[in-house]
Amino acid sequence: MEIERHEYDVVVIGAGGAGLRAAIEARQQGKRTAIVCKSLFGKAHTVMAEGGAAAAMGNVNPDDNWMVHFRDTMRGGKFLNNWRMAELHAKEAPDRVWELEAWGALFDRTKDGKISQRNFGGHEYPRLAHVGDRTGLELIRTLQQRVVALQQEDEKLHGDPEAYIKVFAECTVTRLLKDGDAIAGAFGYWRETGKFILFDAPAVVLATGGIGKSYVVTSNSWEYTGDGHALALLAGAKLINMEFIQFHPTGMVWPPSVRGILVTESVRGDGGVLRNSEGRRFMFDYVPDVFKDKYATTEEEGDRWYTDQANNRRPPELLPRDEVARAINSEVKAGRGSPQGGVFLDVSSRLPAAEIIKRLPSMHHQFKELADVDITKEPMQVGPTCHYIMGGVEVDADTGAASVPGLFAAGEVSGGMHGSNRLGGNSLSDLLVFGRRAGEGAASYVNGLAKRPVVAETAVEDARAEALAPLERSGGENPYEVHHELQRTMNELVGIIRKAEEVSEALEAVEKLKERATHTASPGGRIYNPGWHLALDLRNMLLVSECVARAALLREESRGGHTRDDYPKMSPEWRRRLLVCSATPDGAAVSVEERIQPSMRGDLLALFDRTELSKYLTEDELAEYDAVKES
């Protein structure tokens, strides 16, 4: 059978914010670049990001700067973050946001005409550049239109708009191909026709987003099947921090069919409060020790903070997401939940109706259309939903390079930047900063190559056989059923609160599902056959779920997006240790090993005070700090 074949310098897998920013950079560096994405161009999950992009521009509060942003990010991640990534992110985010404006983005404005910035959980100052509550859409559209602008330039110069950057939409990559140790290309299929496609390329940038579709209750779209995570593992790269999954505190809880859909944190950033069935603002009861001096202790102080941040502390509704999600979970378990199994999120009693519609238009629309709730008149009911994975491909902070030569990763599929918990708003800025860096990293890697790698034909044949298998079996397992069972397993046993027995049980279940997944059959032909596509995605979801569960079982502490009922405390010893997953090339076996994380550079360490650090670091690490401070 004929396989369509293309030659590129850089292949970017994924067309969300990170992928598009990487592709734009690679093309701007003169590389012939392909963007391969599972959906139509412009539909990626980034469109669902609501709140904004965090960047310390200091437009609203001039005291903000990269150092404050860096500190907030490290605190939010409970100091497990790759500090170099957190540093680059905080320093470069403003430039990345301003650049979007030069490409046509229209952010909301301050009175003096600058980009407006809003408050968000864990950020000391108003920091999120935004457009109402549809910031992600603005980002995607701007980057999409930037790609089109580059294509128009190429048309003028070369007579072909797709000479240097081309989008392969509704195209799924199922295998990365290598020449020896190094990346040589990627194999996949067109969703529309079912025909196979092969990219010969020395560099691949993974920008495939997250893994939420392994859970029942999730804010993620169908695309989030951990493809990049799995492709990297199967190509010999390593994943870190896979145990850390962010459950966003506020997802819709009713009606059942929309359970999990996101309710933006901006509701709280703009004044919304959380209440239990007794009407109590319960977040005041859940401020953890490490944050005690930074949050208001009374409702009055919290309310004053919205207008006077210099003299008041922020309300505890704006704690980092992991804290709020656990608090909601506890309230519901204690029987103080709302009738539909969540808690109340109320903005109706806090802002005038017109203001709510102006600031939160898509929330107003979403609740009205999907739940018959008018958020200007009554509270919403919300509960935690699987939202984001902090873990991902282990990469070099400066270039996005993975351990496999020629492989790069950026955005949610990469790991390290957010430590054990991501702050809201740090995702959109992350994908701009590291999307650009990965695109640049890939381009300079290609520049440094003496010769182009060559794809091994046997690997192409294996990839083809693997992809065809579900179509060729008849009377096998229904892939939809295997998927539903995986989602239930992960949701119930490796969810927001974890226990050793339950995680072990999940691992056994995943093992059985892996076996069942090898027998799935997809009736129908090759043209746009969702049952077939799902059967192929299952391999990735199962592999990634196994990594999550294995790492979750090993980490015997609670930190950020990993809460162990049997080890409720945060441990300084564990803070230094990263769990690193790798897999055999067939994906049959996953192994996890511990690695010590390098100590933070002295000048960055010196940005914190000793009292704060003593809550996170070991005695040995504190001695390093004392030495830095003395010198």
Can you tell me which of 12, 22, 48, 324 binds another protein, judged by CB under 8 A? 48
Interacting positions 61-90 with another protein (CB under 8 A): none
Contact of 411 with 207, CB cutoff 8 Å: yes
**Of 229, 248, 483, 564, which is the active-site residue?**
248
CA distances to 7, 334, 337, 345, 385 from 381, in Å: 51, 17, 9, 6, 13
Q: Which of residues 29, 523, 612, 614 is near another protein by CB under 8 A?
A: 523
Among 252-260, 288-296, 308-316, 600-608, the segment contacting another protein (CB under 8 A):
252-260
Q: Which CB, 48 or 605, lies closer to another protein?
A: 48
Query: Which residues in the 217-246 window bind another protein by CB under 8 A?
Result: 221-223
Among 410, 431, 404, which Cα is nearest to 185's? 404
The vertex-526 CA angle with 230 and 225, nearest 5°, equals: 25
Q: Which of 99, 355, 466, 624 binds another protein (CB under 8 A)?
A: 99
522 binds another protein (CB under 8 A): yes
Q: Based on CB atoms, which residue is closest to another protein, 28 or 618?
A: 28
Mask of contacts with another protein, 145-164, x by CB under 8 A? Answer: xx-xx-xx--------x---
With 0-12 / 13-18 / 19 or more C-beta atoms within 10 angstroms meaning exposed / middle / buried, residue 627 is: exposed
Rounded to the nearest whole angstrom, what is the least distance from the CB of residue 592 to another protein in the complex?
Answer: 32
CA atoms within 13 A on the CB side of 199: 32
- Catalytic residue from among 141, 259, 268, 533: 268
Alpha helices in 189-344 (DSSP H): 227-234, 266-269, 299-305, 321-333
Q: Judged by CB under 8 A, how many residues of this single chain contact another protein?
A: 70
Among 246, 250, 366, 540, binds another protein (CB under 8 A): 366
Can residue 255 be called a binding residue for another protein (CB under 8 A)? yes
Among 6, 277, 528, 614, contact with another protein (rule: CB under 8 A): 528
Whose Cβ is closer to another protein: residue 361's or residue 585's?
361
Cβ distance 559 to 616 under 8 Å?
Answer: no
Taking CB under 8 A as the criterion, the residue among 4, 30, 109, 610 binding another protein is 109
Which residues ranging from 569 to 608 are in contact with another protein (CB under 8 A)? none
Q: Which is nearer to another protein, 180 or 475 (CB)?
A: 475
The nearer residue to another protein, 354 or 450, going by C-beta atoms, is 354
User: What SS3 state is found at 614?
Assistant: coil
Nearer to another protein, 109 or 292 (CB): 109
Is 248 part of the annotated catalytic residue set?
yes
Residue 320 neighbours by CB under 8 Å, 6+ apart: 75, 76, 121, 122, 421, 423, 560
Cα–Cα distance between 131 and 358 in angstroms, integer?
Answer: 10
Q: How far is the CB of 237 from another protein (least distance, A)?
A: 27
- Catalytic residue status for 229: no
In whole angstroms, give the CA distance from residue 320 to residue 249: 10
Burial of 458 (0-12, 13-18, 19+ CB in 10 A): exposed
Distances (CA, A) of 462 to 298, 468, 469, 586: 63, 10, 11, 11
Stretch 188-217 residues interacting with another protein (CB under 8 A):
192
289, burial (CB in 10 Å: exposed 0-12, middle 13-18, buried 19+) = exposed
What DSSP character marks residue 218? Answer: B
Task: Indicate which single residue of 62, 159, 180, 256 sits in contact with another protein (rule: CB under 8 A).
Answer: 256
Binding residues for another protein, rule: CB under 8 A, are 39-45, 47-48, 94-95, 98-99, 101-104, 106-109, 112-114, 116, 131-132, 134, 137-138, 141, 145-146, 148-149, 151-152, 161, 192, 221-223, 254-258, 261-262, 362, 365-366, 369-371, 478-481, 484, 522-525, 527-532
Which residues are designated catalytic? 248, 268
